[in-house]
Amino acid sequence: MNTTHSWPSLPIILSLAMLFYSFSALALEDSPSKGVTAHRGNSGEHPENTLPAFESAIALGVDWAELDIHRTKDGKVVVVHDRNTARVGDKNLEITSSTYEELLAVDVAAGFRKAHNKTLEECPAQTIPLLEDVLALFVGQNRTKLSIQPKTDVVAEAIRIIKKMDAEDVVGFNDGNLDYMSKVKELAPQIPVFWDRPAEADIDRDVQIAREKGFEALVVHHQGLDPAKINKIKAAGLEAGAWTVNELQSMKELLVMGVERIYTDRPRLLMAIQPDPGTIVSEGTFTAHLQGICVDPENNIYWSWTNELAKTDRNGRLLKTVKAPSHQGDLCFKDGKIYVAVNLGAFNRPAGQADNWIFVYDAATLQELERIAVPEVVHGAGGIAFHKGKFIVVGGLVPGIDENYLYEYTEDFTFVQRHVLASGYTLLGIQTVTYENGNWWFGCYGNPAVLLQADESFQLVNKVNFDASLGIAGLPDGKILIGTNTRIPDVGYVGRAVIMSRDKMVSP
């Protein structure tokens, strides 16, 4: 069962416009897509740490490409991961004991060619590039940035090159060596640092150090990440990242948990499964599934989780949670309060057997303020919305009834009347409800799920196959926030809110 959100009828048209703008800006600035990092370039499709790998990463439009650097015998800063060329090349030379000219004799595409069973024509020979060679690719564009991992103490030389090429605004540094990363901040404080950490890292200690050093992110080996660690990292104002992730399921789970930066050899795959730019991922995991969402004028989002109520900011950062009686449903905001439709487990019951309530919470603290009985809701309260001085409560249904019922109450919850929505039967009735720009929207379960659209007088306008059964909240200018969740086995549920247009919801 599920519930709803609707915008309060406050005289704040300008504020609503600002709210829509804020959510739109959020979608672009805070999407997880900003952390797609091509590990050693697009190394799944091209020899790692070569110019073709970095050119491919830029062409894909990834957010970052990552590379590794060493110093040669003659003081050149070169792009290569290992201390020698045995794994990637057709010759085995030690980087630090070889001149750059000697290293140029090594075909560093040989290992990739052999591993992928490619011919020389399909995978031409490549040489180790200088850091300057790679930087030149990134300076000339404004989409993809470059993260530099020093494998030896070559930070000072790298930063001299970066400054010489006027490339400070297109680079970052990453590594697990605290001395190296500290040196970056000493020499170039404006360059971001993504501190790499092992799976068994002490997150509390690392967060403290990262904040003291002014680092921008903690990037933890993906096998050591869980929602609690991610929340701690993000609560400290740091970006949460994972390395190195190449399996589809792991990518999906990390994105759902709120990881913002993922290093991968398969950037094309990661980009293909990224959520839409309008997706907001809630911090935290919950034991039961989502029932509804709503939004207040400050852009905070409220999430009903069956037996828990949560509040996040507009970026999905968790602000407050409280336990709640089960079974609570959809919710709405009005005048500093949150109103939640609650049925205490008695839902989709025959007439006279439901147990229907509206629980009222303080929006700032989530402290419960009162419980209001709504016995008029025949088959169980499931959702609530507010518009133009009236609350509309929706709820369950039993098989054999080919219409849904909408219960109208005044602001002080005096019952006014029951409206009939000529919808036909919908599985378990109506789960969510919201009002948006002249339209009432009702989310219903089903296979497929059903979305009902009605006009101001509750006359059915449209009935489409679209899933808004876990949350729907009207935003200005035809935009609507759709709630959904993903279950992670042995972890719990994670919530998402997706900004959508009306046209996208109702189009075939």
How crowded is the C-beta side of 364, counted as CA atoms within 13 Å? 2
Q: Which amino acid is at 141?
A: Q
Residues of the chain below pLDDT 70:
1-34, 275-277, 489, 507-508
- What pLDDT score was predicted for residue 315? 81
Residues sharing a CB contact under 8 Å with residue 319, sequence separation 6 or more, in sequence order: 300, 311, 312, 313
- What pLDDT score was predicted for residue 494? 83
- Pull the structure tokens for residue 162: 């970066």
- Pull the structure tokens for residue 361: 């919470």
Residues sharing a CB contact under 8 Å with residue 64, sequence separation 6 or more, in sequence order: 35, 36, 37, 38, 144, 145, 146, 147, 172, 261
> CA 500, 506, 508: angle at the middle one, nearest 5?
120
Would the CATH topology of 13-29+280-506 be identical to that of 32-274?
Answer: no
The residue among 358, 470, 473 whose CA lies nearest residue 411 is 358
User: Can you name the residues that pair with 495 across neighbouring β-strands?
Assistant: 485
- Pull the structure tokens for residue 491: 């972890």
Q: Taking the model in full, what pTM does it have?
A: 0.62
Provide the H-helix boundaries in 387-497.
none
Distance CA(20)–CA(153), nearest Å, equals 48
| pLDDT tens by residue, 345-375 | 777 778 878 889 999 999 999 999 999 999 9
Mark 207-238 as b/e (b = at least 16 C-beta within 10 Å). Answer: bebbeeeebbbbbbbbeebebebbbbbbebeb
Rounded to 10 degrees, what is the CA torsion of 91, 94, 95, 98? -90
- What pLDDT score was predicted for residue 16? 31
Residues sharing a CB contact under 8 Å with residue 447, sequence separation 6 or more, in sequence order: 427
Q: Which architecture, in CATH terms, is 32-274?
A: Alpha-Beta Barrel (3.20)
Q: Would you say 490 and 478 are in contact if contact means Cβ atoms under 8 Å apart?
A: no
The residue among 488, 497, 496 whose CA lies nearest residue 254 is 488
Q: Is domain 13-29+280-506 annotated with CATH 2.120.10.80?
A: yes
Q: Would you say 39 and 265 are in contact if contact means Cβ atoms under 8 Å apart?
A: yes
| pLDDT tens by residue, 173-205 | 999 999 999 999 999 999 999 999 999 999 999
Residue with tokens 């009939």: 420
Three-state secondary structure readout of 8-68: CCCCCHHHHHHHHHHHHHHHHHCCHHHHEEECCCCCCCCCCCCHHHHHHHHHHCCCEEEEE
Q: Which amino acid is at 242?
A: A
- How many C-beta neighbours within 10 Å does residue 297 have? 15
Domain boundaries, the chain: 13-29+280-506, 32-274
